[in-house]
């Protein structure tokens, strides 16, 4: 029989980068006194890669810097250095298609919540290959509306992509308990906000709508899809708008789809057990799936053209 203790899980294989040093991912470590481990005091970015190229790297790093600035964490090196470390890490792992995760924590310090006790920020970069268990594009996502509400901006700024995702995890636990794949979070007023790690769009007639950027983490994939729609990728005559939506707008939509770094563009087949459309990907969603996949595959000029317009947005 194989020695289970000697086996390395797929997600631990290859190399990671810790404070600029390349080490085996299976043995990479962070102190138990790191304030991100203790309190979620840190920020991160997840970046999709195709053909060995990180997509929209600059806006991701810009948002990382903005999140650090908001939390008064000084990144341990500059953007160009992190970009170079990402490139080298992808090469060392021989990874063409997958994901990069960049984490900056406040660092190690005395185990109290006082941020002044941690003065040396930590940088960790890891990569993952495209999951073999990824959802086939013809299989829809089943969503459930969670009773757990999205933390309002008056309590915590949603544009900060922090390491504390407990609010979203509780919502996802609700969805799993209801037999769904993922959760829809409403805001404190009962309006549609977002998913734990994705944004949402609905179609009514010739309009594709998504919740407004205030109160959510407005993703870079969301912004990319909005620009694709504006360029006609969803079909002739279709336009996109940001507006406040209630659950009613979800239940009466002809198409619903979600977007995110890990999700890409995926259609929603049901919400709270109610079938969306005919339960398959609608025409606008299908076109956007193709357009987004093509954009990732081509990378290069198209991705670079998008980046300046996306700076400061979410992922």
- For the domain spanning 141-300, the CATH number is 3.20.10.10
Q: For 90, list phi and psi in degrees, rounded to 5.
A: -60, -40
Q: Do 8-129 and 141-300 fold alike per CATH?
A: no
* Dihedral Cα 168, 169, 174, 180, nearest 10 deg: 90
How far apart, in whole angstroms, are the C-alpha atoms of residue 174 and residue 167?
A: 11
Of the chain, the end-to-end C-alpha distance in Å amounts to 43
The pTM of this model reads 0.91
Instruction: Report pLDDT for 2.
Output: 45
Q: What are phi and psi of 122, to 5 degrees?
A: -110, 140
Which CA distances in Å does 173 have to 135, 192, 221, 247, 256?
Answer: 19, 18, 24, 20, 22
Output the pLDDT for position 8.
76
Residue numbers of the chain with a pLDDT score lower than 70: 1-7, 131-133, 300-315
CATH topology of domain 8-129: D-amino Acid Aminotransferase; Chain A, domain 1 (3.30.470)
In Å, what is the CA distance from 113 to each residue of 23, 161, 231? 29, 19, 47
Q: Which residues pair with 129 in a beta bridge?
A: 98
What is the three-state SS of the chain?
Answer: CCCHHHCCCHHHCCEEEECCEEEECCCCCCCCCEHHHHHCCEEEEEEEEECCEECCHHHHHHHHHHHHHHHCCCCCCCHHHHHHHHHHHHHHHCCCCEEEEEEEECCEECCCCCHHHECCCEEEEEEEECCCCCCCCCCCEEEEECCCCCCCCCCCCCCCCECCCHHHHHHHHHHHHCCCCEEEEECCCCCEEEECCEEEEEEECCEEEECCCCCCCCCHHHHHHHHHHHCCCCCCCCEEEECCCCHHHHHCCCEEEEEECCCEEEEEEEECCEECCCCCCCHHHHHHHHHHHHHHHHCHHHHHHHHHHHCCCCC
So where are the chain's domains? 8-129, 141-300
- Long-range pairs for 1-7: beta carbons < 8 A, 24 or more residues apart: none
């Amino acid at each position: 029989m194989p020695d289970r203790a000697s086996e390395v899980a797929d997600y631990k294989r290859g190399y990671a980068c810790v404070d600029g040093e390349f080490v085996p991912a299976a043995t990479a470590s962070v102190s138990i006194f790191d304030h991100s481990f203790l309190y979620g005091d840190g920020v991160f970015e997840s970046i999709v890669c195709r053909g060995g190229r990180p997509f929209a790297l600059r806006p991701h790093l810009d948002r990382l810097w903005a999140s650090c600035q908001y939390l008064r964490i000084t990144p341990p090196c500059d953007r160009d250095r992190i970009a170079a470390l990402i490139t080298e890490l992808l090469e060392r792992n021989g990874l063409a298609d997958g994901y990069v995760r960049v984490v900056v924590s406040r660092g190690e310090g005395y185990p109290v919540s006082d941020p002044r006790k941690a003065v040396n920020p930590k940088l960790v970069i890891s990569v993952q290959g495209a999951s073999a268990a990824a959802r086939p594009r013809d299989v829809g996502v089943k969503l459930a509306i969670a009773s757990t509400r999205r933390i309002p901006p008056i309590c915590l700024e949603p544009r900060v992509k922090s390491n504390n995702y407990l609010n979203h995890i509780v919502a996802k636990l609700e969805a799993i308990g209801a037999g769904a794949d993922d959760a829809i979070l409403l805001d404190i007023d009962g309006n549609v906000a977002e998913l734990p790690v994705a944004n949402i769009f609905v179609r009514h007639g010739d309009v594709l709508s998504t919740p407004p950027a205030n109160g959510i983490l407005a993703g870079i994939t969301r912004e990319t899809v909005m620009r694709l729609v504006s360029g006609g990728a969803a079909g002739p005559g279709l336009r996109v708008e940001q507006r406040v939506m209630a659950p009613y707008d979800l239940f009466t939509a002809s198409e619903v789809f979600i977007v995110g770094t890990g999700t890409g563009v995926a259609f929603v087949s049901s919400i709270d057990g109610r079938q969306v459309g005919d339960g398959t990907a609608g025409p606008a969603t299908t076109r956007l799936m193709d357009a987004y996949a093509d954009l990732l595959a081509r990378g290069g000029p198209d991705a670079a053209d998008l980046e300046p317009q996306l700076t400061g947005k979410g992922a």
